[in-house]
Structure 1
Amino acid sequence: MLTHPTLDMLRDLGLHGMARAFQDLDVQAEARALDHGEWLAILLDHEATLRRQKRFEARARAARLRHDAQVEDVDFRAERGLDRSLFLKLASCDWIRQRHGLLLTGPAGVGKSWLACALGHKACRDDFSVAYHRAPRLFAALALARGDGRYARMLKALARTDLLILDDWGPEKLNDEQRRDLLEIIEDRYERRSIIVTSQVPVERWYEIIGNPTIADAILDRLVHNAYRIELTGESMRKQRPIPAPETALT
């Protein structure tokens, strides 16, 4: 068998998964009993798996998630009011396919950001584009972009993302520019793309955070409509972490 020319051709064509599988099969005695169709199926399966992995890695890098969180690692035993069945339903990512939203509220330290990042990580694995932003930094970045001509381009990039995670929203009231920015973001995503918003402030108080009644009505009507809600309770989970023992001084 012309192993090397075949490998070179596969690599030249960018079929690195097939090349790797071909190389592995070629040294396995039992693989010689496979017919051509079975060989081809194995090679194609390896190529598809490698490409999925590369797409996931690229999406995960682009998402810039705050936590390296996995939905499989969620602690449902913690007393914070997390509905197991609802969260597992969200982990399927069907709500993203249906272009719904998620509002995640609760006091500091109960795991809002971690859960949002876990869902974001799962979305990357399911081949959705994800972008994570802390709300204060996003508003600051938009203010800078407005001044140097990047504003429209930045909004367009946000609008194209399948899942936008807007973390740590509130409790400070929005100013005029931030209100308009938030309206633009929500308007671009309404019934087109999904969003997760996390906040220490209950949804019922978001109206007063936005400030302007007309803009608040427009934002909340689009944001709350068709959105799932997770309202966490309890004490900060950070208090439950063991304090690491101090390192022994060298003598």
Structure 2
Amino acid sequence: MTLARQQQLPHADFLELVLADEVGRRDTNSAALRARAAGLDPTMRLDTWDTSAQVRFDQQLWNELTSLRFLDGPHGALLLGPVGVGKTHLATALGHIAVRRRVGVHLTRADKLFKRLKAARLDNTVEAEMRRLAHTPLLIIDDFCLQALDATETADFYELIVERHHKTATVVTSNREPNEWLAMMADPLLAQSAVDRLVSTCHELIIEGDSYRRRQRPTTQ
């Protein structure tokens, strides 16, 4: 009202201003709800990335990923690097960008993903769960191959990658290189088939540097 008086806005312009403000508020609230449903940490956005962090990666490739043009392929992305360099933050930031553009997103840690699929077998919902994961436009798998995969987990990973291949986009973060994943899986043949499909359609962003968590250690006065 104050702005309208100061600028002597006509009634139509004032109404447009009020409605635009309401649309913006609703879009923000809607995006926050969708991000929560997708499993995205609200603090891990592009604007909260610590630009002073002592990490190195291909900035041009990262800019390309944030454009989300890789979803058109559909292609995917592998965010690889040691512990604490911000792989999860960057992957989550991609999820937030996608949510803002109303792209369906689901982020899950790899161990929780496989546990959920195992639990789904107990109540005969595994097919529905696998179908949901397979059709999610952007699936983000965090901390992949942090620990070894047993036979069931390897088979589930193979099925999921095969179902998503050339249909939907997958982003994976890992402390290990793709060639190291093979030794972490129970069935070498399924592992090679799945990893080959995934790697062949993914951009690879290598993140190097020291763990940011070391800078968060408490200090004495």
Structure 2: 5+ residue stretches without partners: none
CA distance, structure 2, for counterparts of residue 179 and residue 151 of structure 1: 15
CA distance, structure 2, for counterparts of residue 66 and residue 241 of structure 1: 19
| Equivalent residue number for residue 210 of structure 1 | 185
Q: What TM-score, normalized to structure 2?
A: 0.86
Output aligned runs, 1:183-222, within 5 Å.
183-222=158-197
Q: What is the RMSD of the two structures over their aligned residues, measured on CA atoms?
A: 2.5
What letter is aligned with 2:109? R
What letter is aligned with 2:38? A
Structure 1: 5+ residue stretches without partners: 1-23, 247-251
1:108 counterpart SS class: coil
CA distance, structure 2, for counterparts of residue 187 and residue 195 of structure 1: 12
Map Cα deviations across residues 74-127 of structure 1 (whole Å, 9 max, x no partner): 344433322222212211222123321111111111111111111111211221
| Equivalent residue number for residue 21 of structure 1 | none
| Equivalent residue number for residue 231 of structure 1 | 206
CA distance, structure 2, for counterparts of residue 192 and residue 41 of structure 1: 40
Rg: which structure is higher?
Answer: 1
Matched, 1:126 2:86: no
Instruction: Quickly say closer, same or farther: Cα 1:172–1:114, change in 2 above 3 A.
Output: same
Q: What TM-score, normalized to structure 1?
A: 0.77
The offset of 1:39, in angstroms, is 6.5
Matched, 1:113 2:88: yes
| Equivalent residue number for residue 176 of structure 1 | 151
CA distance, structure 2, for counterparts of residue 141 and residue 129 of structure 1: 19
What letter is aligned with 1:149? N
2:172 counterpart SS class: strand
What letter is aligned with 1:142? L
Instruction: Quickly say closer, same or farther: Cα 1:232–1:52, change in 2 above 3 A.
Output: same
Count of aligned residue pairs for this structure pair:
219
2:71 counterpart SS class: helix
CA distance, structure 1, for counterparts of residue 47 and residue 54 of structure 2: 18
Match of 1:62 among 37, 41, 48: 37
What letter is aligned with 2:204? R
Output aligned runs, 1:12-31, within 5 Å.
28-29=4-5, 30-31=8-9
Instruction: Quickly say closer, same or farther: Cα 1:67–1:201, change in 2 above 3 A.
Output: farther
| Equivalent residue number for residue 48 of structure 2 | 73
What letter is aligned with 2:112? R
The offset of 1:223, in angstroms, is 0.5
Alignment check: 8 A CA contact 1:130 1:164 kept:
yes
Instruction: Quickly say closer, same or farther: Cα 1:235–1:184, change in 2 above 3 A.
Output: same
What letter is aligned with 2:111? P
| Equivalent residue number for residue 114 of structure 2 | 139
CA distance, structure 1, for counterparts of residue 136 and residue 40 of structure 2: 14
Q: Percent identity?
A: 32
| Equivalent residue number for residue 134 of structure 2 | 159
